[in-house]
Structure 1
Amino acid sequence: MALRPYWSGHIRLSLVSLPVNIYAALNRSRTIAFHEIYKPTGERVRHQLVAGDKDVERDDIVKGYEVEKGEYVLIDPDEIKDLRIPSSDTLDIAEFVDAAAIDAIYFESPYYVAPAARSDQATFAVMRDAMRDTGKFGVGQLAIGGRERLCCLRPCGAGMMIETLRYEDEIRACDPYFDSIRDKRPNPDELDLAKELIKRRTATFDAGRFHDHYREALQELIDARIEHREPKPVEAERPTAKVVNLMDALRESLKASDKPTKSAPNNKTTRKKAS
């Protein structure tokens, strides 16, 4: 089955224009979905479109921007769909930044980027490897998903990835939350122990080692209901050492880190690596 692009267009760097397709990188099918059910009869709840006391057809619905209470400027959905701005079909790379320069709080949604045709593969590989070798991400704007999004372009395995970024005004200032600890200085001995614990617990990140316990428990609840039985509890390892202060906690953690740990199962068929 041919993969269907989420968006097709060009990535432009100076005079170089590269045709690409992008694809959603998130697997939404792993989410457990529920319908709303009317409990007395077991029937599915349907939501009705009404205006005042009248039923309305979906084709008669337009967008409305409220300028005053109860007064709207009407915009047809097709007018919004037909809006054309430069970033509608081209991601212009405005600048390159160090890979570590973008704080994690700005990252939003990832999309895989692939060359649109075999003839574009050489240019694609040059752009990918140039960013990888220099440790840089490209930054630009792209109209996608009904908005013009700030984006970063970066290498990802054999391809590239676009990640939409939040704009600065979408992020709340952290000052009100951190004011009380701004001048707090740690105890040097506790800091040394914490650094040693971090050093001992440092590993190569492997997302396949982790799994969603909540989703597993939810699936077990559903399965048990179907099979008319009690759900089995989802077991998870928990630390057992009892401590009374931070120094004791760190010492106990260091002792525990010397013991071999049991790795979670790794499903090699679903594991993805990105670089």
Structure 2
Amino acid sequence: MALRPYWSGTIRLSLVSLPVNMYLAVNRQKTIAFHEIYRPTGERVHHALMAGDKPVERDDLVKGYEVEKGEYVLIEPDEIKALKIPSSQVLDIAEFVGVDDIDDVYIETPYFIAPDGKGNDATFSVIRDALRSSKKVAVGQLAIGGRERLCRIRPFGSGMILETLRYEDEIREEDPYFDDIRDRKPDSEEVELARELIKRKTRSFNPSQFHDHYREALQELIDARAEHREPREVLEEKPVAKVINLMDALRQSLREKGGEETPVRKAPARSRTRKATPPKSDKPKRPTRKDAARKAG
């Protein structure tokens, strides 16, 4: 079966044009979907399109933008489809940035990018390898899904991947959320213990070792109901002991990962400032009244 592209167009880099096909990279078939069922009869519930008390046909629907309460500007669906902006068919590369310059909070949906199969493999490979060797990603804009999306393109295996990005005004300001911790300084010994724990648990990322346990449990529940049996017991996670002290918790975590706790060199305590003691003088002390009285007695 031929793959159906989500979008077909051209990536343009200066005077170089590269026709490509774009495919959704997310496998949405893995998502478990439910229908709404009317419990007394077991029938599926369908949501009807209504205008007041009257059912309406989908062909009679138009788009409406509310300008005032109850007043709409009406736009035909074909008028929206007819909107043509440059990024509808051509993705112009605006700039290149470092691979780590774009924070992950901006990343939205991934798409596979492949040559359109009409003899553009060589150009595609040149751009892919040039991006990889220079450790850069391409940034541009593309009109898909009813809006113009900011996006980045980067090498991915033997192909490339396009990721749509959120615009800056779509990200909330961080101030209200981080105000309470902005000036909080952590204990240096606790930080060192946490660094040691991170070091011991650091390894290469392997996505195949992670599974959606919730989806697996949900699928087991569905299978058991369909087979008229009790669902197999889902093993619960080991309960976590109550954390009394962060240092104790970090030390316990290190011991559970094997090996002795790495001694942490504590920073020397600051000495209190004392007034300097004046050096003793070599001159003889002047006799006091008490010395004179002792001598007379």
Name 2:247's counterpart in structure 1: 247
Listed one character per residue, the Cα deviations across residues 17-43 of structure 1 (whole Å, up to 9, x for unaligned) are 100000000000000000000111111
Listed one character per residue, the Cα deviations across residues 33-80 of structure 1 (whole Å, up to 9, x for unaligned) are 000001111110011111112221110100000111111111011111
Name 1:269's counterpart in structure 2: none
Matches of 1:15 and 1:258 in 2, distance apart? 58
- SS at structure 1 position matched to 2:176: helix
Q: Which amino acid aligns with 2:162?
A: I
Matches of 1:228 and 1:119 in 2, distance apart? 55
Listed one character per residue, the Cα deviations across residues 206-244 of structure 1 (whole Å, up to 9, x for unaligned) are 110000011011111111211222222322553656652
Q: Which amino acid aligns with 1:122?
A: A
Matches of 2:258 and 2:130 in 1, distance apart? 41
Contact 1:64–1:72 (CA<8 Å) still a contact in 2? yes
User: Where does 1:98-247 land on structure 2 (aligned, <5 Å)?
Assistant: 98-235=98-235, 237-238=237-238, 243-247=243-247
Name 1:42's counterpart in structure 2: 42
Q: Which amino acid aligns with 1:196?
A: E
Q: Which amino acid aligns with 1:12?
A: R
Deviation at residue 88 of structure 1 after TM alignment: 0.1
Listed one character per residue, the Cα deviations across residues 88-146 of structure 1 (whole Å, up to 9, x for unaligned) are 00111100111111111100000000011252111111111111111111110000111
- SS at structure 2 position matched to 1:100: coil
Q: Which amino acid aligns with 1:226?
A: A
Deviation at residue 256 of structure 1 after TM alignment: 1.6
Q: Which amino acid aligns with 1:22?
A: M
Q: How many residues align?
A: 259
- SS at structure 2 position matched to 1:96: strand
Structure 2 residue ranges without an equivalent (≥5): 260-297
1:7–1:252 distance in 2 versus 1, CA, 3 Å: same
Which protein, 1 or 2, shows the higher relative CO under an 8 Å CA cutoff with sep ≥ 6?
1
Q: Which amino acid aligns with 1:183?
A: D
TM-score normalized with structure 1 length: 0.91
Q: Which amino acid aligns with 1:60?
A: D
- Matched residues, percent identical? 69
User: Where does 1:48-67 land on structure 2 (aligned, <5 Å)?
Assistant: 48-67=48-67
**Do structure 1's residue 6 and structure 2's residue 6 form an aligned pair?**
yes
TM-score normalized with structure 2 length: 0.84
User: In angstroms, what is the RMSD of aligned CA positions?
Assistant: 1.3
Matches of 2:82 and 2:238 in 1, distance apart? 54
Matches of 2:159 and 2:141 in 1, distance apart? 20
Matches of 2:13 and 2:69 in 1, distance apart? 46
Off by >3 Å, runs of 4+ in structure 1: 236-243
Name 1:93's counterpart in structure 2: 93
Q: Which amino acid aligns with 1:190?
A: E
Contact 1:216–1:234 (CA<8 Å) still a contact in 2? no
Q: Which amino acid aligns with 1:157?
A: G
Matches of 1:240 and 1:205 in 2, distance apart? 25
